[in-house]
């Protein structure tokens, strides 16, 4: 009996089938060296291809599909890396029930592949969700916060045990603003939402996109907290409280900050600094209570950028984070005012050491805007890009940025003018080569890319960080390969190993198994002698399997979460690699003896 849908055998069967069907992340796509990008414009035949202000983007890490939304259109984009350069296929998959919206938004849960798309319809929403990349859509119940602007939606793990009566494995959060910020939570995957909860503390008004960490804490960044900061929930949306970043006053002009979390729940936030609008990023290892490694990224570009906006933060494995942003290396004054003479490009900054150092690359082939980027209402000529852009991470660790190109055709040429910069063309910048955000896809050889810009270091002495999760060598050829990670217990093929879970929800026990080349199947079994009552098991253990690195509740190649603490994950055609097995305590307050066995065939 599933803890998420008591009495629903169909939901249980679907969950198990989905776990077994998660495709492998192939080391053939491995990346190394300095990142570089290729850009992909939507076909002109697509509806609203040149009406794509403030786009959202998401990636289904199971299928690899990229989902892109702006205005009233939702697109599915599939990349083919068999070609050099990779090609992209765009398809219009707009949900019919969400065509009408006054403020578009999209979010894809990388852990489940579920995409939410649509937008505002007054004080409520017009949203749909899809579990097959837009092949079919389910109309969602209205999410009504009482606020009528600048909404965000996102989903991720529950914080601890799911609320009583929850029938979906993840929390779904929807927030909007109207001078105040308010959020609602869905316990059934977005079909219905609970009552609005107003954010307490210093934050109010316009906010960025909600992100949910691996431990279930949900964050919404906000520039309107006195200082730069945001708000969060640590109890599945029952209450939301504010946090701020010390010594970083809120800018009086501009757009939203952006947040992301790595697998160890480290929080990163990026914003445009008050006064000079330099691109800034900081780190918190205490869920926003304190901050370090605050870094000005302006000098990582040569010549330095003089202003930035539209920060979009993404993260992967421990210590790996990237920030996409628009920046100009020319112009003076306020970049959001008429008469500002900026030449804006898309940049992406990477850190592979938890924000100690950063390297920045230009991701656009030509300017994406000339002149100002208007941050007010009305019909100002510089208002074409609207309020934000978005970024995500592919299943092999590439950064993928969805943006509106405001400078196409003659505008993009050497003699382009600000008067020509009035477009809003649907465009994706996708990392083509270079070290990505998932260590399992690293290779030792450098990519033949340009020398990176100067690196930036934090403005304050950083505090030490916990060690990142060790990554395994991705391609052993036999079980005799040198152990890359002695701290993680090794499973002998076909031999059960006894273990005991912790008594704390959210805790893990990890194992690894070396899979030789030529195997057609990897089967991992978790078994216990626990008898479960009508309300399920306590504790309730889940099983996760991942190639090359320890799994998390967001990053895995296979998972089983039936609620019985007896779970099976099968990986077909497993790569020759060290595969990691995670036994996760989903809920409960007592330890449990178990056996875990990995078998190849």
pLDDT tens string 18-50:
333 333 232 223 356 899 999 999 999 999 999
Burial of 267 from C-beta contacts in 10 A (0-12 / 13-18 / 19+): buried
Q: Is the pTM of this model over 0.85?
A: no
The closest alpha carbon to 508, from 265, 218, 163, 172, belongs to 265
Give the residue from 400, 421, 441 where a domain finishes. Answer: 441
State the Cα–Cα distance between residues 477 and 472, nearest whole angstrom: 13
Please say if the pLDDT value at position 73 is more than 50.
yes
Q: How confident is the model at residue 141 (pLDDT cuts 50, 70, 90)?
A: confident
Q: Mention every residue, 6+ apart, whose C-beta is less than 8 A from residue 454.
A: 299, 300, 302
Listed range (7-21, 157-171, 277-291) with the worst mean pLDDT: 7-21
State the Cα–Cα distance between residues 131 and 189, nearest whole angstrom: 11
Please indicate, yes or no, whether residues 156 and 238 belong to a single structural domain of this protein: yes
Please indicate, yes or no, whether residues 24 and 36 belong to a single structural domain of this protein: no
Phi, psi of 189 (to 5 degrees): 80, 10
Q: How confident is the model at residue 72 (pLDDT cuts 50, 70, 90)?
A: very high
Instruction: Please give the order of strands across the beta sheet that includes 292-296.
Output: 258-261, 267-272, 279-284, 292-296
CB-CB contact of 417 with 411 (8 Å) = yes
> Looking at the DSSP assignment, which residues form a beta bridge with residue 186?
172
The closest alpha carbon to 423, from 373, 366, 389, 385, belongs to 385
Please say if the pLDDT value at position 574 is more than 80.
yes
In 3-state terms, the chain is what percent helix, strand and coil (to 5)?
5, 40, 55
CB-CB contact of 390 with 402 (8 Å) = yes
Please indicate, yes or no, whether residues 119 and 91 belong to a single structural domain of this protein: yes
| pLDDT for the residue 79 | 97
Please indicate, yes or no, whether residues 140 and 63 belong to a single structural domain of this protein: yes
Q: Beta-carbon neighbour count of residue 538 at 10 Å?
A: 16
Q: Residue 284 belongs to a domain with what CATH number?
A: 2.130.10.10
**What 3-state DSSP class applies to 217?**
coil
Give me the sign of the Cα torsion angle 219, 216, 166, 168.
Answer: positive
Q: How confident is the model at residue 454 (pLDDT cuts 50, 70, 90)?
A: low
> Which residue, chain included where needed, has tokens 């600094």?
273
The answer to the question of residue 159 being in a domain is yes
Listed range (100-104, 270-274, 534-538) with the worst mean pLDDT: 534-538
pLDDT > 70 in the chain, percent: 87
Give residue 400's Cα distance to chain centre.
Answer: 10
> Looking at the DSSP assignment, which residues form a beta bridge with residue 587?
540
Across 114-120, average pLDDT: 94
Please indicate, yes or no, whether residues 415 and 478 belong to a single structural domain of this protein: no
Q: How confident is the model at residue 482 (pLDDT cuts 50, 70, 90)?
A: low
Please indicate, yes or no, whether residues 175 and 195 belong to a single structural domain of this protein: yes
State the Cα–Cα distance between residues 442 and 434, nearest whole angstrom: 9
Phi, psi of 216 (to 5 degrees): 95, -5
For residue 480, is it left (φ>0), alpha (ψ between -120 and 50) or beta? alpha
Listed range (1-5, 270-274, 385-389) with the worst mean pLDDT: 1-5
Please indicate, yes or no, whether residues 11 and 36 belong to a single structural domain of this protein: no
For residue 337, is it left (φ>0), alpha (ψ between -120 and 50) or beta? beta
The answer to the question of residue 126 being in a domain is yes
Please indicate, yes or no, whether residues 325 and 421 belong to a single structural domain of this protein: yes
CB-CB contact of 206 with 165 (8 Å) = no
The answer to the question of residue 451 being in a domain is no
Q: Beta-carbon neighbour count of residue 123 at 10 Å?
A: 16
| pLDDT for the residue 459 | 53
CB-CB contact of 94 with 49 (8 Å) = no
> Which residue, chain included where needed, has tokens 């092949």?
135
The answer to the question of residue 115 being in a domain is yes
The rounded radius of gyration (Å) of the Cα atoms in the chain is 23
Please say if the pLDDT value at position 346 is more than 80.
yes
Please say if the pLDDT value at position 427 is more than 50.
yes
The answer to the question of residue 453 being in a domain is no
Task: Please count the structural domains in the chain.
Answer: 2
Please say if the pLDDT value at position 364 is more than 90.
yes
Q: How confident is the model at residue 146 (pLDDT cuts 50, 70, 90)?
A: confident
Give the residue from 441, 460, 488 where a domain finishes. Answer: 441
Please say if the pLDDT value at position 159 is more than 80.
yes
Please indicate, yes or no, whether residues 405 and 549 belong to a single structural domain of this protein: no
Cα of first residue to Cα of last residue in the chain, in angstroms, is: 30
State the Cα–Cα distance between residues 78 and 313, nearest whole angstrom: 22
| pLDDT for the residue 410 | 97
Burial of 373 from C-beta contacts in 10 A (0-12 / 13-18 / 19+): buried
Mean pLDDT across the chain, nearest whole number?
Answer: 87
pLDDT in tens, 483-534: 778 779 999 999 899 888 877 777 888 999 999 998 989 999 999 988 775 4
Please say if the pLDDT value at position 469 is more than 50.
no
The answer to the question of residue 448 being in a domain is no
Q: Beta-carbon neighbour count of residue 591 at 10 Å?
A: 15
For every residue of 253-274, DSSP letters joined together read SS---EEEE-TT--EEEEEEPT
Q: Which helix (H) or strand (E) holds 508?
A: strand 508-515
The answer to the question of residue 318 being in a domain is yes
Q: How many CA atoms lie within 13 A of 428 on its CB side?
A: 33
Listed range (165-174, 228-237, 417-426, 554-563) with the worst mean pLDDT: 554-563
The closest alpha carbon to 196, from 210, 182, 206, belongs to 182
> Which residue, chain included where needed, has tokens 């006053």?
249
Q: Beta-carbon neighbour count of residue 91 at 10 Å?
A: 15
The answer to the question of residue 561 being in a domain is yes
State the Cα–Cα distance between residues 463 and 557, nearest whole angstrom: 33
Its domain, for residue 307, covers 31-441
Please indicate, yes or no, whether residues 44 and 23 belong to a single structural domain of this protein: no
Structure token digits, residue 301: 């570009």
Across 554-568, average pLDDT: 82
Q: What is the DSSP letter of 456?
A: B
Q: Residue 479 belongs to a domain with what CATH number?
A: 2.60.120.380
Please indicate, yes or no, whether residues 360 and 406 belong to a single structural domain of this protein: yes
Please indicate, yes or no, whether residues 23 and 43 belong to a single structural domain of this protein: no
State the Cα–Cα distance between residues 68 and 56, nearest whole angstrom: 6
């Amino acid at each position: 009996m599933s803890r998420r849908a008591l009495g629903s055998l169909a939901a249980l069967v679907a969950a198990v089938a989905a776990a077994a069907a998660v495709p492998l992340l192939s080391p053939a796509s491995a990346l190394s060296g300095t990142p570089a990008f290729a850009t992909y414009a939507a076909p002109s035949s697509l509806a609203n291809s040149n009406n794509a202000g403030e786009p959202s983007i998401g990636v289904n890490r199971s299928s690899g599909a990229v989902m892109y939304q702006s205005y009233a259109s939702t697109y599915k984009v599939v990349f083919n890396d068999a070609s050099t350069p990779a090609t992209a296929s765009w398809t219009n998959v707009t949900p019919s029930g969400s065509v009408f919206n006054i403020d578009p938004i999209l979010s894809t849960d990388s852990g489940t592949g579920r995409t939410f798309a649509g937008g505002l319809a007054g004080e409520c929403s017009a949203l749909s969700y899809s579990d097959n990349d837009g092949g079919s859509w389910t109309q969602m119940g209205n999410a009504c916060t009482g606020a009528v602007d600048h909404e965000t939606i996102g989903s991720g793990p529950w914080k601890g045990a799911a609320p009583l009566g929850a029938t979906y494995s993840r929390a779904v959060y929807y927030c909007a603003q109207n001078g105040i910020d308010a959020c609602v939570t869905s316990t059934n995957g977005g079909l219905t939402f609970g009552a609005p909860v107003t954010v307490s503390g210093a934050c109010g008004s316009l906010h960025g996109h909600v992100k949910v960490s691996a431990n279930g804490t949900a964050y919404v960044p906000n520039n309107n907290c006195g200082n730069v900061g945001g708000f969060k929930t640590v109890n599945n949306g029952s209450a939301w409280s504010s946090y701020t970043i010390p010594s970083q006053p809120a800018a009086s002009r501009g757009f939203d900050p952006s947040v992301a979390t790595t697998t160890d729940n480290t929080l990163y936030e990026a914003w445009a600094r008050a006064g000079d609008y330099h691109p800034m990023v900081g780190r918190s290892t205490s869920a926003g209570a304190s901050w370090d490694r605050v870094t000005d990224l302006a000098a990582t570009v040569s010549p330095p950028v003089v202003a930035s906006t539209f920060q979009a933060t993404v993260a992967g494995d421990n210590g790996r984070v990237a920030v996409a942003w628009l920046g100009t290396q020319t112009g003076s004054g306020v970049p959001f005012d008429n008469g500002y003479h900026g030449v804006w490009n898309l940049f992406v900054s990477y850190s592979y050491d938890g924000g100690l150092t950063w390297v920045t690359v230009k991701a656009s082939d030509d300017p994406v805007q000339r002149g100002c980027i208007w941050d007010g209402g009305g019909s100002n000529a510089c208002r074409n890009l609207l309020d934000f852009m978005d970024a995500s991470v592919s299943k092999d660790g590439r950064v993928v940025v969805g943006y509106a190109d405001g400078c196409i055709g003659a505008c993009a040429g050497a003699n382009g003018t600000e008067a020509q910069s009035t477009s809003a063309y649907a465009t994706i910048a996708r990392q083509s080569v270079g070290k990505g955000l998932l260590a399992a896809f690293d290779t030792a050889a450098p990519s033949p890319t340009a020398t990176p810009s100067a690196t930036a270091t934090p403005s304050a002495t950083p505090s030490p960080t916990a060690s990142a999760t060790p990554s395994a060598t991705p391609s052993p050829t036999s079980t005799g390969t040198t152990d890359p990670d002695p701290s993680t217990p090794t499973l002998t093929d076909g031999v059960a190993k006894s273990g005991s879970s912790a008594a704390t929800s959210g805790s893990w026990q990890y194992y690894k198994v070396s899979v030789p080349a030529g195997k057609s199947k990897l089967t991992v079994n978790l078994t216990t002698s626990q008898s479960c009552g009508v309300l399920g098991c306590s504790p309730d253990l889940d099983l996760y399997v991942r190639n090359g690195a320890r799994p998390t509740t967001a990053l895995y190649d296979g998972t089983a979460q039936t609620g019985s603490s007896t779970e099976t994950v099968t990986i077909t055609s497993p790569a020759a690699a060290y595969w990691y097995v995670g036994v996760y305590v989903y809920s409960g307050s007592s330890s449990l003896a178990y056996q875990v066995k990995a078998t190849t065939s």
